[in-house]
Amino acid sequence: MDLPIGPIDHVAYPVADLPAMVGFLSRVLGARCTREPYRIDGAVAVQQVEVGDALLSLHRHGNGIDLAAPAAAPGCLDICFRWNAPIGTAVAHLAAVGVAVVEGPVPRRSATGEPGQSVYFRDPDGNLVELMSTLS
């Protein structure tokens, strides 16, 4: 059955320390805060950031919003971003911003089946973040 489903709109990302994660994602992935944060009782509960064409909704863990997966907690995410340059530039960038590579470059296949290479690293909560390039 062919349904009219498009690309993922956003990913909810539970985080332990919202300002620290925003800072990390800004420094490492160029994240931009382009929308006003969602507040509960004056405290920031959710901050949306744009990373490339992706939108991440960073949810402060324990923010009182019940509409979440039952096991959603900091460190539960494994996410991949496309790197639109050769993978060596991603490795060099991570080194320049002081982020240790956990694995890679290693061969991988993209969602569209293209051969590529990936590098993996961890964010402050221990989430696994992958940068994948299909460019040589």
Q: Which one-letter DSSP state was computed for residue 96?
A: H
- Give SS3 for 21: helix
pTM of the model: 0.93
pLDDT of residue 127: 97
pLDDT of residue 126: 98
Task: List Cα–Cα distances, 114 to 40, 56, 87, 134, in angstroms.
Answer: 43, 25, 14, 7
- CB of 77 closer than 8 Å to CB of 71: no
- pLDDT tens digits in sequence order for the chain, 136 residues long: 889 998 899 999 999 999 999 999 999 999 999 899 999 999 999 999 999 999 999 999 988 888 888 889 999 999 999 999 999 999 999 999 999 999 999 999 999 999 999 999 999 999 999 999 999 8
